[in-house]
Amino acid sequence: MFDLTPAQCRALTATTRREVKRTYARRDNIINCPKVGSKAIWKLLKHRLIEKGRREGDVVTMTLTSAGEQALQEFDSESPSRY
């Protein structure tokens, strides 16, 4: 497991709230979340902490993997304040 940055922790938290979306366009895949930059989200995908969830049309709501849930729990237990 790698150390989570505060932005990655916010991305995991946003994923639990179903705020992280992946849009499939003709040329690009776009990942967005109103409160988190896409670099943090792509890093979580790379490390398999989040994955594709339910798809509605061209938009997929991302979900936590079991490794993502564990990483978020570990981060919360080590950090007194939540990001």
Domain limits, the chain: 6-78
Answer whether 0.85 is exceeded by the pTM.
Answer: no
Q: In the predicted model, what is the mean pLDDT of the chain?
A: 88
pLDDT of residue 61: 96
Which amino acid would we find at residue 6?
P
Residue 77's pLDDT is: 75
24, two tokens: 């499939």
Q: What pLDDT does 83 receive? A: 47
User: Beta strands 21-24 and 59-64: pairing type?
Assistant: antiparallel
* Closest C-alpha to 19, from 53, 58, 57: 53
Tens-digit pLDDT profile for residues 15-54: 999 999 999 888 888 888 988 998 999 999 999 999 999 9
- Looking at domain 6-78, which of 1.10.10, 1.10.8, 3.40.50, 1.10.3470 is its CATH number? 1.10.10
